[in-house]
Amino acid sequence: MSYYRMTFLSLLFMVGLVLAGCDNDDVTQIEWMIPMQPAQDHHSTSALARQVPTWAVHEGMSADISLLNKHKARRWDYHLTTENPVKRGDMTIELLGVAHGLRVDKDGYREDDDVDNPAAWLRIMKKGHIIHEGWMYQKFPELFGLDDPEWWISVRAVQQAPANRSNT
């Protein structure tokens, strides 16, 4: 058989395969083709994320926080309690709850003694308007914190008086 004849037959066979196509009309989606749905974010502004859990409120709780003025490169350290909010200029910071081991699961937040994730629930107001309310983590200050062009706020430590805790 000549070279041209073999090439022609091979090309004809390939064209036949392409034209025949796939006769399977059942289109199934592959896992990576399924549109991604965003997971429920407990750090969002949902009603669940806007309420301080009852287990996080303790008598005698406190937190040590640092305020950094980004424009002046000055830092102030404060010991924050529920009775004594911090006031700095037109900003007020209130402590509403603490957790030594904060865990997020499908039902929301819960305190877990097996997790080393200290956090404080802070309400931050500027000129009387709430600009942030929610958990701020000691070990991950960049996550879920205040997004403000002038201030950077971090939690350095949380303390709570010993109490009976129940995860509700």
Helix (H) or strand (E) holding 136: strand 129-137
Model confidence at 161, in pLDDT bands (50, 70, 90)? low
Quickly state the pLDDT bin for 67 (edges 50, 70, 90). Answer: very high
> How high is the mean pLDDT of the chain?
79
Give residue 122's pLDDT. Answer: 92
Structurally, the chain folds into a number of domains equal to: 1
> In this predicted structure, what is the pLDDT of residue 32?
57
Note whether residue 71 is domain-resident: yes
- pLDDT over 70 (residue 92): yes
Q: Is residue 24 part of a domain?
A: no
The verdict on residue 4 lying in a domain is no
pLDDT greater than 50 at residue 164? no
Q: What residues pair up with 77 in beta bridges, in sequence order?
A: 66
pLDDT at 1: 62
Percentage of the chain surpassing pLDDT 90? 29
Contacts of 30 (CB under 8 A, 6+ apart): none
What burial class does residue 62 get, using C-beta atoms within 10 Å of its C-beta: 0-12 exposed, 13-18 middle, 19+ buried? buried
pTM of the model: 0.64
Going by C-beta distance under 8 Å and a sequence separation of 6 or more, which residues neighbour residue 100?
111, 113, 118, 158, 160
Asked if residue 164 is part of any domain, the answer here is no
- Where is pLDDT greater, at 62 or 53? 62
Predicted pLDDT at 49: 54
In a domain, 32, yes or no: no
User: Domain residues for 89?
Assistant: 55-159
The reply to whether 76 falls in a domain is yes
Q: Look at residue 103 and tell me if it is in a domain.
A: yes
Residue 46 has pLDDT above 90, yes or no: no
- When pLDDT is cut at 50, 70 and 90, the band that residue 29 belongs to is low
pLDDT at 47: 46
In a domain, 128, yes or no: yes
Lowest mean pLDDT among 21-25, 82-86, 121-125, 147-151: 21-25
Strand bridging mode 108-111 / 102-105: antiparallel
